[in-house]
Amino acid sequence: MSDHPEHRDRPDGPDGPERPEDFGYSGFTERDLQREVLDLEHRSTTAARIFDLRRIIGGLFVLYGVMVTIAGITASDAAIDKAEGVNINLWTGIGMLLLGLFFLAWLKLRPTPPPLPDTAPDDKPAAE
Amino acid sequence: MLNDGVQTPTFPLTPAHTAREALPALAAELRLPTNWLDYTILAIYFVVVLGIGFAARRSVKTSLDFFLSGRSLPAWITGLAFISANLAATEILGMAANSAQYGAYTVHWYWIGAIPAMVFLGLVMMPFYYGSKVRSVPEFLLLRFDKWAHLLSSILFAFAAILIAGVNLYALAIVVEALLGWPQWVAIVVAGLFVLAYITLGGLSSAIYNEVLQFFVILAALIPITVLALRKVGGWSGLTDRLTVLHGHDFVTAWGGTGIGSPNPLGANWLTIILGLGFVLSFGYWTTNFAEVQRALSAKNLSAAQRTPLIAAYPKIFIVFLVMIPGLVAAALVPKIGTSASGLQYNDAIPYLMQELLPNGVLGIAVTGLLAAFMAGMAANVSSFNTVFTNDIWSKYVVRHREDEYYVRFGRLITAIGVMASIGTAFLASSFSNIMAYLQTLFSFFNVPMFVAFIIGMFWKRASAKSGFWGLLAGTVTAMVNYFVMYKRHIIDIPTDQGANFVSAIAGFVAGGIVMFVVSLFTSPKSAEELEGLVYGTRSPGMAEPPAAGDDAWYRKPALLGWGAVIIAAACYIPFSL
């Protein structure tokens, strides 16, 4: 596999005629991009407005943990026999409950940082 | 085994960066004894997924918010999303299948086929990606090379993303039909619409938040299965004893039988494993696949972006046990798995153990985890597709210089179109599974020349603007020719698809590199000014930003995190090399 040899003597290459000053130029420079992205970053409010995921994970796993633990406490002998004599619902339920509590505790100890000062914190409740 | 003589309709549950071909639908007798509790667990999950979509919607104001979460997320979130985007159900079921078929060789896909590349991405490449402020992988090619490299990589990526999203959706439909008895079209439409809803609402933030949640649900599903499976066969020693009797000692080692010229079920030797899988395929996938890299680009600063793949590397090291052990146990319990005598395919390993071992409750968690994994795989592709299509194709070549709100609206529209196209692809896959398998293999080769273009472009200033396009093209074509002509027509003799895949990747890498070198010699390089921040040894203007408070803590040092992962992965090989 090699490049088309005839392409080397054609200055315009594979992509049709090009003016010499365009040669190798992508029509889009890093400087343009930096300006555009910085501008968007400045207007972006995600950092200030996105909710904290730890609450969702914590809540869901506490709920799942409680449900599965109850299934474990009330497990029938058949269910335990099926799982090789392990009360797997109980253990999984406790594990999920602990994971959920871990996330809630983490959230409590390290709360979401307040919005950055330049994003006008006052408009938060009024937004949308 | 996959015999080339027998033409079976092949539909792969394919791990993202390999092209293992597996057998079609799951066995019908795998129906799970689900009850109201399991369905309640599943229903709660779907409600939470949608809830995240609605909540994340508030955070979308600019196109950067929609496509890149405003570059504002903390490292633990992007890191877990990074691993979750990879941990699609095709990966879970496919790697369990791999283990049932080939044994402990599966560890190579993780310890050598992932960790070094993830660490390289974090430590070496991320400063260029994140520091240059590009919003996508193709956009980096635009800055470093030219429009042609950019357009080629954008279009191929967009097609591949829709294809893989559709394949995930179809695989989900097969699994849901076998396990829960839902008709395939119901599963395809329901899962497709949920993904559509939450990504259209909240954009990448919604996708990433859901991926993090999915990560934990997937773990909660896999850990009980693994523990009970091990218990059933008498622990690790009981498992290895049984497998040694059934398949020989090499089946439970990582390197046994991989000497050059010695036959082994994988059809690869240590050299093709290290170069093909460990270097070319793995670096290609992990460092240039935008569905992965996008997670890191959404991090809040360079340090967090660097830590994204490094944080992901730690779970990746250990997740192999959660997919390999169920696969091995299935191989031990059902010696004839993969043959018609047992009625079970290799892909059935995990569903089989779910049916055998899990009581209601945990069963619901496991079903939820599996569905979560399918949706994660699909959503990662949809959310990267809409970004590349909007940022790299639409706003640069079709409708340029419109106001930012227009591109947010367009992003939502193209998300809907992308999901509809995936749903269409899933239905196509159900009728033409052979074609889809080929297409998937075809696209798996595309990452290889991408990696060549990146590695040469980042480390060799002289690589010219034109060399990118020709390197990409030559590498892709070579890998495809090697696989579809040389191997499939038996011109060269490689025992398995897997082995051929490794060799094709190496061929594509070498060809792409040579062509880039030759083209660079005959075309003029870019100026030093244009390459600032894009080539090793230069810095982007924006890179000078001071580290955020707390980022200098020792456990947040990228070098320490990265080398720690490499050392642990290497140490994991020791017990498997004896």
Q: What phi, psi does B363 have (nearest 5°)? A: -60, -40
The reply to whether residue A71 touches residue B37, judged by beta carbons under 8 angstroms, is: yes
CA atoms within 13 A on the CB side of A66: 7
DSSP H or E run through B429: helix B404-431
Mean pLDDT, rounded, for B383-409: 91
The whole-angstrom separation of Cα A11 and Cα B193 is 50
- Burial label, A109 (beta-carbon count in 10 A; 0-12, 13-18, 19+): exposed
The DSSP symbol for B496 reads: S
- Helices and strands of chain A, counted as H and E runs: 5, 0
Give the largest CA-CA distance in chain A: 82
Mean pLDDT, rounded, for B279-302: 90
Which residue of chain B comes nearest to A53, CA vs CA? B209
Residue A90 in contact with residue A66, Cβ under 8 Å?
Answer: no
Tens of pLDDT, residues B186-243 = 989 999 999 999 999 989 999 999 999 999 999 999 999 999 999 999 889 989 888 8
A83/chain B closest Cα distance in angstroms = 5
Q: What phi, psi does A67 have (nearest 5°)? A: -60, -45
Inform me whether the C-beta atom of residue B154 falls under 8 Å from chain A C-beta atoms.
no
Quote the pLDDT of residue B307.
Answer: 94
Q: What's the gap between Cα B82 and its chain centre? A: 9
Quote the pLDDT of residue B435.
Answer: 65
Partner A, chain B 326-355, Cβ-Cβ below 8 Å: none
The whole-angstrom separation of Cα B494 and Cα B477 is 19
A111/chain B closest Cα distance in angstroms = 14
Query: Tokens at residue A69, please?
Result: 């633990």
Query: Tokens at residue B431, please?
Result: 């009728």
Any idea what the Cα angle at residue B388 is, between residues B316 and B393, rounded to 5°? 160
The reply to whether residue B71 touches residue A127, judged by beta carbons under 8 angstroms, is: no
Suggest the residue from A2, A4, A30 to mutate for an interface test with chain B (most B CBs closer than 10 A): A30
Query: Is 80 exceeded by the pLDDT of residue A62?
Result: yes
Q: Minimum mean pLDDT among B136-140, B193-197, B440-444: which range?
A: B440-444
The whole-angstrom separation of Cα B323 and Cα A62 is 26
The reply to whether residue A80 touches residue B359, judged by beta carbons under 8 angstroms, is: yes
Where residue B15 falls among pLDDT bands split at 50, 70, 90? Answer: very low
- Helices and strands of chain B, counted as H and E runs: 22, 0
Suggest the residue from A52, A53, A62 to mutate for an interface test with chain B (most B CBs closer than 10 A): A53
The whole-angstrom separation of Cα B69 and Cα B202 is 9
Quote the pLDDT of residue B245.
Answer: 87
The CA-atom distances, in angstroms, between B82 and each of B75, B159, B524 are: 10, 21, 38
First-last CA distance in chain A: 58
Q: Minimum mean pLDDT among A116-125, B317-326, B393-402: which range?
A: A116-125
Quote the pLDDT of residue B48.
Answer: 94
Partner B, chain A 34-63, Cβ-Cβ below 8 Å: 34, 37-38, 40-41, 43-47, 49-51, 53, 56-57, 60-61, 63
Tens of pLDDT, residues B141-180 = 998 998 999 999 999 899 888 988 888 888 888 888 888 8
Q: Can you list the alpha helix ranges (DSSP code H) found in B58-88? A: 63-68, 75-86
The whole-angstrom separation of Cα B372 and Cα B257 is 37
> Among A26, A49, A71, whose Cβ lies nearest the Cβ of B147?
A26
Q: What phi, psi does B410 have (nearest 5°)? A: -65, -40
Tens of pLDDT, residues B537-560 = 777 665 555 566 677 778 888 889
More confident position, B17 or A109 = A109
Where residue A9 falls among pLDDT bands split at 50, 70, 90? Answer: very low
Tens of pLDDT, residues B260-271 = 777 777 777 888
Quote the pLDDT of residue B415.
Answer: 95
The whole-angstrom separation of Cα B397 and Cα B413 is 18
Q: Which of B199, B204, B175, B213 is nearest to B32 (CA)?
A: B175
Inform me whether the C-beta atom of residue A21 falls under 8 Å from chain B C-beta atoms.
no
Query: Tokens at residue A87, please?
Result: 């009360």
The whole-angstrom separation of Cα B29 and Cα B355 is 10
The reply to whether residue B133 touches residue A23, judged by beta carbons under 8 angstroms, is: no
A86/chain B closest Cα distance in angstroms = 8
Residue B423 in contact with residue B166, Cβ under 8 Å?
Answer: yes
Cβ neighbours around A32 below 10 Å, total: 11
Quote the pLDDT of residue B43.
Answer: 94
B268/chain A closest Cα distance in angstroms = 24
The reply to whether residue A84 touches residue B231, judged by beta carbons under 8 angstroms, is: yes
Q: Can you list the alpha helix ranges (DSSP code H) found in B388-496? A: 404-431, 433-444, 447-459, 465-480
The DSSP symbol for A51 reads: P
Q: Which of B410, B336, B346, B368 is nearest to B215 (CA)?
A: B368
Buried b / exposed e along B333-359 (16+ C-beta atoms within 10 A): bbeebbeeebebbbbbbbbbbbbbbbb
B139/chain A closest Cα distance in angstroms = 10
Where residue B530 falls among pLDDT bands split at 50, 70, 90? Answer: confident
Q: What phi, psi does B73 have (nearest 5°)? A: -90, 150
The CA-atom distances, in angstroms, between B429 and each of A122, B292, B501 are: 52, 24, 22
Where residue B47 falls among pLDDT bands split at 50, 70, 90? Answer: very high
Mean pLDDT, rounded, for A45-67: 86
Residue positions counted in chain A: 128
Average model confidence (pLDDT) across chain B:
85
Please tell me whether the interface predicted TM-score (ipTM) of this complex is above 0.90: no
Where residue A110 falls among pLDDT bands split at 50, 70, 90? Answer: confident
Query: Tokens at residue B262, please?
Result: 């010695």
Query: Tokens at residue A125, please?
Result: 């409740």
Q: Which residues pair with B299 in a beta bridge?
A: B73
Inform me whether the C-beta atom of residue A1 falls under 8 Å from chain B C-beta atoms.
yes
The whole-angstrom separation of Cα B36 and Cα B189 is 22
B8/chain A closest Cα distance in angstroms = 32
> Among B358, B464, B478, whose Cβ lies nearest the Cβ of A1?
B478
